[in-house]
């Protein structure tokens, strides 16, 4: 992802997904050269990239962008790195990495999710006097929509991601999250993320869109995309996102969003197997936002949270328990095994006891 801004209350935000495994990916060196040229030419304020697996490739981009993006951070995780990298025109004040507790299986050597150590990275940047918390992440791949054995992994990652954003974005004037969530817009993990954080999807919020049909970021026309990944979605899927949220000090509005459309001009191949995203965001200070009737979107997401929970919680008196704990343990227990799940449930005995006392007071109904 990359962000481009201007001191006037407008800023452009772009997201790019760079995928290059040195010695394995096709045309890896050439594509990093293209990405470096693009970032230097477009002058985005912040660039967030995923799947920069080789630190050598990161250092190449760092040298190439030293004048346009002098501030950088490379998030190291797992065996060969998280692949997450940040390039910024503005000084990075702080950075933090959280590695997801579930990351696939080590014996699935050909997939590499476990070895990469999927994670979320945070950089805190001062942009024109505003404190911006910018997140970049990459969740576990789906591989098969029909037989998705990694759905519990992405659910746990989604839950940990939203908790990380909630607890680290306090005090931020601007919050932007970009990355490959490997989830369709209406997938449960995606809706939980947006409903619990108040983050808004730039694709659904934008005034103007120019890009692939329905905002798809994985399309059949892309030279590097695996056609089996698109079954049964022949036209493509939207699994890469720019999410945003303002604050009481400033609100955010997406004025335009665009994606790349496969091959690059004058080149027979694209930047990556995923399409890059670019968004233009308007920043309105509190007085301006009231005049324009803008909001940060938290109220619009209040009802969404309860709808998401309906997919998991079906018992009336389950509300006596800590809902956050129940959701997380239910998914985590599915993956780690029944013994661990039971042990974690026992840790909630005080709340469980209170719930049963409530049931008894209501006559067990």
More confident residue, 284 or 306: 284
- Mean pLDDT for 268-278 is 84
What is the pLDDT at residue 28? 81
Distance (Å, whole) CA 62 – CA 52 = 12
Catalytic site includes residue 301: no
pLDDT at 321 over 60: no
Q: Which helix (H) or strand (E) holds 325?
A: helix 323-336
More confident residue, 80 or 101: 101
Whether omega for the bond prior to residue 22 falls within 30 degrees of 0, making it cis, is no
Average pLDDT, the chain: 78
Name the residue with tokens 């030419």. Answer: 41
Tens-digit pLDDT profile for residues 5-58: 444 455 555 455 555 444 445 678 888 998 998 888 887 888 889 989 888 999
The three state secondary structure string of 44-67 is: CCEEEECCECCHHHHHHHHHHCCC
Tokens of 252: 């955010």
- Mean pLDDT for 172-185 is 95
Q: Is the Cβ–Cβ distance between 108 and 141 less than 8 Å?
A: no
pLDDT category at 281 given cuts 50, 70, 90 is confident
Query: 2-301: CATH homologous superfamily?
Result: Endonuclease/exonuclease/phosphatase (3.60.10.10)
Please return the burial class of 213, using the count of CB atoms within 10 Å of its CB with bins 0-12, 13-18 and 19+. exposed
Tokens of 80: 């060969």
What is the pLDDT at residue 352? 47
Backbone angles phi, psi at 182, to 5 degrees: 55, 35
What is the pLDDT at residue 26? 67
Distance (Å, whole) CA 205 – CA 341 = 39
Q: Virtual CA dihedral for 147, 152, 158, 161, nearest 10 degrees? A: -130
- Mean pLDDT for 249-254 is 92
Rg of the chain on CA atoms, in Å: 21
What number of other Cβ atoms are within 10 A of residue 182's Cβ? 25
Q: What percent of the chain has pLDDT over 90?
A: 41
pLDDT category at 266 given cuts 50, 70, 90 is confident
Antiparallel, parallel or unpaired: β 2-5 and 46-49:
antiparallel
Backbone angles phi, psi at 348, to 5 degrees: -100, 15
Which of 102-116, 236-250, 272-286, 332-346 is predicted least confidently? 332-346
Which of 93-102, 168-177, 227-236, 296-305 is predicted least confidently? 296-305
CA 229, 234, 236, 239 dihedral sign is: negative
Distance (Å, whole) CA 140 – CA 190 = 13
What is the pLDDT at residue 174? 95
CA 254, 256, 260, 266 dihedral sign is: negative
Domain ranges of the chain: 2-301, 312-361
Q: What percent of the chain has pLDDT over 70?
A: 70
What is the pLDDT at residue 47? 86
Antiparallel, parallel or unpaired: β 10-15 and 71-75:
unpaired
pTM of the model: 0.78
Catalytic residue among 133, 140, 274, 301: 274
Tokens of 11: 């800023």
Tens-digit pLDDT profile for residues 290-316: 555 555 554 444 455 445 444 444 333
Q: Is the Cβ–Cβ distance between 183 and 139 less than 8 Å?
A: yes
Distance (Å, whole) CA 248 – CA 284 = 10
What is the pLDDT at residue 332? 58
What is the pLDDT at residue 146? 84
């Amino acid at each position: 992802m990359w962000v481009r801004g201007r001191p006037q209350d407008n800023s452009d935000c772009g997201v790019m997904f760079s995928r290059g495994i040195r010695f394995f990916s096709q045309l890896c060196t050439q594509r990093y050269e293209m990405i470096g040229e693009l970032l230097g030419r477009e002058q985005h304020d912040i660039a967030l990239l995923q799947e920069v697996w080789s630190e050598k490739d990161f250092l190449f981009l760092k040298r190439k962008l030293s004048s346009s993006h002098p501030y950088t951070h490379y998030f190291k995780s797992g065996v060969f790195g998280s692949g997450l990298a940040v390039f910024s025109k503005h000084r990075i004040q702080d950075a933090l990495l959280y590695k997801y507790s579930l990351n696939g299986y080590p014996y699935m050597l050909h997939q590499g999710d476990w070895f990469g150590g999927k994670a979320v990275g945070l950089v805190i940047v001062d942009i024109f006097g505003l404190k911006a918390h910018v997140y970049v992440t990459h969740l576990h791949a789906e591989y098969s929509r029909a037989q998705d054995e990694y759905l519990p992994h992405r659910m746990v990652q989604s839950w940990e991601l939203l908790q990380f954003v909630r607890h680290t974005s306090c005090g931020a004037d601007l919050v932007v999250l970009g990355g490959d969530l490997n989830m369709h817009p209406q997938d449960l993990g995606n809706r939980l993320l947006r409903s619990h954080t108040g983050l808004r999807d730039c694709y659904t919020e934008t005034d103007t869109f120019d890009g692939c049909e329905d905002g798809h970021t994985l399309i059949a026309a892309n030279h590097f995309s695996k056609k089996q990944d698109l079954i049964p979605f022949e036209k493509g899927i939207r699994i890469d996102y720019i999410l945003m949220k303002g604050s009481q000090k400033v609100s955010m509005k997406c004025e335009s969003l665009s994606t790349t459309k496969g091959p690059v001009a004058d080149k027979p191949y694209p930047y990556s197997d995923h399409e890059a995203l670019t968004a233009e965001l308007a920043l309105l200070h509190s007085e301006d936002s009231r005049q324009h009737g803008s909001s940060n979107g938290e109220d619009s997401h209040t009802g969404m949270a309860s709808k998401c929970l309906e997919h998991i919680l079906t018992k009336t008196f389950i509300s006596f328990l800590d809902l956050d704990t129940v959701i997380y343990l239910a998914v985590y227990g599915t993956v780690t095994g029944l013994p661990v799940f039971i042990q974690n449930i026992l840790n909630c005995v005080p709340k469980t006891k209170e719930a049963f006392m409530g049931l008894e007071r209501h006559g067990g109904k």
